[in-house]
Amino acid sequence: MGDSADGALFRNLRARFPRLHGDVIRFELERCNGHAGHAAHALRALDSGHTVPVRSPAPPRPPLSTAEPVGGEVTLRSPSTAEAPLLSTFAEPRALAEWAELRAAETQVALLDAQLELRLLASKQSAEATDLRKEAAAAMAAEEEARTEMASLRDALEQALASPFVGSEGTQGRPAARNGGGWARIHALQTLRDAAARLDVGALRTAIDEGEAAGVEAGALDGAHAIMAAKAAENLELYQAAALAGQGTWDPLLERAIEEGRAAGLPREDLLKAARVLVTAAARTSNLELLEAAIHHGKAIGLMRSELEAVIGRSCEALEYSVLQWKAAKYTSCDSVWRALEGGDTVLIRGSWLMACWRSARLLPRRQELPPEAVWDVGELMAAPPGMDGIAVPILAISHCWETSDHPDPQGGQLQILGRILEQRLASRDHEAVRDLAVFFDWCSLPQPPWASKEEEAAFHRALRHSDLWFARSRSSVWWLTSTPDGVLPASRRGWPCFEQALSRGVAAGRGVLDLGALDGSCTDFSRTSEVCGRTRGPPMLPEVFARALRTKSCARRADAPLLEAKYRQAFEDAVVPAAELGLHGLGWGAEQARGLAAVLHRCTALQSLRLQQNMLGDAGAWELSGAVSWCSNLRELDLSANGIGNAGARCLAAAVPTCGCLSSLLLRKNRIEDPGAEALAAAVPWCVRLGSLDLRSNRFGEEGLRRLEAAWGETRPAAGQGARGGEAGEGPPPGRGLWV
């Protein structure tokens, strides 16, 4: 038969069996030596899913080889004993159907592979035919076993169609999603059942989100919604009654119940009633943080402004001003440490006790199992001698990875590193002498699940409210334990370490940040360890930038990512936005860091002093900052001394400083400003109406630049004086008001 006839046969068979791949049709034609009837018989069997007998070659064409063809039918194994319980667990029909389809596709591919292998084997020399036929028969037997297993899966599917968990919609529910496949729906369904059995509102909310993404039937999701709403309503009523019984005392479980009720879609009237109780309880505590949180919930639900003011006893504007002042001192004052520790929800661990654990090769116990000698007494910790900032010993926060969900350091590797560096720190004579350290290590400092009571769970949620304080506090040191064993997700890809590092490097300037993952053999004392592992502070990260970075990280729980995003935004708004002073001197910053800082300055409307001396900003950094300082409407002092700024940077600053209506002190000493830059600054002086001090000592301009500056200053500020001319600039601000050149 010619090539044109072969093509016509192929097209006819392709039209009759559109669901089969063209390679399958072509193979069957070749196997049957172009006999259309035999090929159609085999293709019909494949298309219907039945067993395909392997026929002997038809006589019109000679055989492909001298090997005898292998006949017989393919048989498949039945499900093994180990797989039988697995089939019974599939109560979700669509997931089971998709698994059956997947196995059917795998079966068809296995059949094609076996038949192709058979043809190749048959073309070899007759001396090898016997062994090759055995291998081909084994492949076809395996294919038959797969067919038998698929048949049993079909039977299980028919039984699962009557499952009561499918709901009233049966198989006519929402269409199955393809992202994640059947296994994702099976997992989502099991998660829904577990959460419903535990009556955990938060877990149900997470499971419903997972189920919607995986395409679980609407009946199952509606049932879970109903369970969640009923439990949320029960919790709301329970904790509201408990708060009223306690004469309006603050209860974090009521706050959590309100959040759960909003997520469950409870009636607005019930939520408003609970919000009034929450605001009343917060007002009685006189705690601005709790009051702000309660008002936030009240506004979100819909409490009227007049009702809020009636409950709190003052105007919302006065409260907002008080909250702003409190936020400005949150990360610098020891009062915030006292508030975080006074209730006992959070404890700080003695560094000396951690060293003892390291020396005795013990694993760290969780918070509920700590011995009393491991914990700092709040009274002892806050009874500081003069000059200690209100705290007896320095505070150290540890950022680390959890190696397992049950214990962060099951092998003791992190404790070995921590104990050795603690020993170096306490023995160091080159740093501030300390007798001990107060260490925040979440496994030991916060209550850990499983909870023995509702009070333990409430204590954990109260402690979580202050978890950012230890890493963002300006007088705390932070050590990163970034090393992880093989097979454990590294810190660079985790959500919580990303959050803690962003706080410690960007939000507030701490006493020192060490990345102990950089330790090497030379780190035999704390001075060398600080040199090798020290990390300088970077510009604060905008909340939107942090949120984008967080999306690339992994979190152990689905709820962690939004929690971390919200907590970082809150820390940024508490520490950076209301800051009156930013001291960022001597950090080695260049133009890139200046660009990051410029993006932040747009929100720092309360900033009064910005000190960036002794960096490496250059003209590019001055240009980046010049476009941002005008947003700081309260800026009074700008120090850019010793930054390598030349004429181009001076021109940019000369154009920007007249827009800073409150600027009274501009320090540009020890730069590279020449006559053109001095002339640009002189032209800006008359427009800076409140500028009382301009320090340009130790620059490179000559007599012409001096003359222009003195003339401009003398004409507009005759009473301010000329300051001093000539001489070297010392450290610190100029000794008085005037022009210092």
pLDDT > 90: percent of the chain: 32
Locate 593 and state its tokens: 């860091």
What is the reported pLDDT for 567?
92
**What angle, rounded to 10 degrees, do the helices at 252-264 and 201-214 form?**
30
Number of domains in the chain: 3
Residue 639, strand partner residues: 611, 667
Q: Are strands 512-515 and 476-481 parallel, antiparallel or unpaired?
A: parallel
Q: What was the pLDDT predicted at 168?
A: 34
Q: Is there a contact between 232 and 260 (Cβ–Cβ < 8 Å)?
A: yes
> Of 291, 288, 285, which is closest to residue 249 (Cα–Cα)?
285
Q: What is the mean pLDDT of residues 108-127?
A: 64
pLDDT over threshold 70, residue 386: no
Q: Which two tokens stand for residue 634?
A: 């309260």
Strand ranges, E, within 676-718 = 693-695
Co-location of 531 and 611 in the same domain? no
Which residues fall within 8 angstroms of residue 288, CB to CB, at 6 or more apart?
319, 322, 323, 326
Q: Is the pLDDT of residue 660 over 60?
A: yes
Residues 549 and 605 in one domain: no
Least confident of 179-183, 255-259, 320-324, 433-437: 179-183
Q: What is the mean pLDDT of the chain?
A: 77
pLDDT at 98 over 70: no
**What is the DSSP code string of 628-684?**
TGGG-TT--EEE--SS---HHHHHHHHHHGGG-TT--EEE--SS---HHHHHHHHHH
Sheet-wide strand order for 512-515? 349-350, 438-440, 395-400, 476-481, 512-515, 534-535
Do 540 and 609 lie in one domain? The reply is no
Higher pLDDT, 448 or 8: 448
Same domain, 556 and 685: no
Residue 691 located in a structural domain = yes
Q: 161-202: per-residue pLDDT in tens?
A: 444 333 333 333 333 333 445 666 777 777 777 777 767 777
User: Does residue 548 share a domain with residue 437?
Assistant: yes
Per the structure, the complete domain to which residue 429 belongs is given by 348-565
Confidence of residue 323 (pLDDT cuts 50, 70, 90): low
Of the two residues 318 and 520, the one the predictor is more confident about is: 520
Query: Coil, strand, or helix at residue 423?
Result: helix
5-14, 15-24, 251-260, 658-667: range with lowest mean pLDDT: 251-260
Q: Tokens 């036929």 label which residue?
A: 133
Residue at 485 is within a domain: yes
* Res. 412: pLDDT tops 90: yes
In terms of domains, do 496 and 531 share one? yes
Q: Is the pLDDT of residue 326 over 70?
A: no
Q: Bin 255: left if φ > 0, else alpha if -120 < ψ < 50, else beta.
A: alpha
Over residues 612-623, the pLDDT tens digits come to 999 999 999 999
Write the burial class of residue 739 (CB in 10 Å: 0-12 exposed, 13-18 middle, 19+ buried): buried
Residue 5 has what pLDDT? Answer: 61
Asked if 548 and 594 sit in the same domain, the reply is no
* Mean pLDDT along residues 712-736: 60
Task: Give per-residue pLDDT as tens, 31-42.
Answer: 887 787 878 877
- Any domain includes 574: no
pLDDT in tens, 199-238: 777 777 777 877 777 777 777 777 777 777 777 777 777 7
Domain check: are 561 and 590 in the same one? Answer: no
Give the model's pLDDT for residue 301: 75
442-454 exposure pattern, b = at least 16 Cβ within 10 A, e = fewer: bbbbbbbeeeeee
Taking residues 17-39, report their average pLDDT: 80
Which of 535, 565, 595 represents a domain boundary (last residue)? 565
The answer to whether position 260 is within a domain reads no
Q: Are 337 and 379 in contact (CB under 8 A)?
A: no
User: Residue 97 pLDDT more than 80?
Assistant: no
**Residue 98 domain-assigned (yes or no):** no
pLDDT of residue 316: 66
Residue 592 has pLDDT above 80, yes or no: yes
Does the pLDDT of residue 639 top 70, yes or no?
A: yes
Which of 5-14, 305-314, 459-468 shows the lowest mean pLDDT across its residues? 305-314
CATH (domain of 594)? 3.80.10.10
Pair 561, 584 in one domain: no
Q: Is residue 531 part of a domain?
A: yes
Same domain, 416 and 441: yes
Mean pLDDT of 141-166: 56
Per the domain annotation, does 307 fall within a domain? Answer: no
Where residue 271 falls among pLDDT bands split at 50, 70, 90?
confident
In tens, the pLDDT along 524-542 reads 999 999 999 998 888 989 9
Candidate from 227-236, 447-456, 459-468, 596-605 with smallest mean pLDDT: 227-236
pLDDT reading at 370 higher than 80: yes
Q: Is the pLDDT of residue 78 over 80?
A: no
User: Do 383 and 527 fall into the same domain?
Assistant: yes
DSSP single-letter state for residue 367: G
Residues 584 and 561 in one domain: no
Query: 469-525 pLDDT, tens per residue?
Result: 999 888 889 999 999 998 899 999 999 999 999 998 776 555 679 999 999 999 999
Please identify which residue in the block is written with the tokens 């496949």.
Answer: 181
Q: What's 591-640 look like in SS3? A: HHHHHHHHHHHCCCCCCCEEECCCCCCHHHHHHHHHCCHHHCCCCCEEEC
In a domain, 490, yes or no: yes
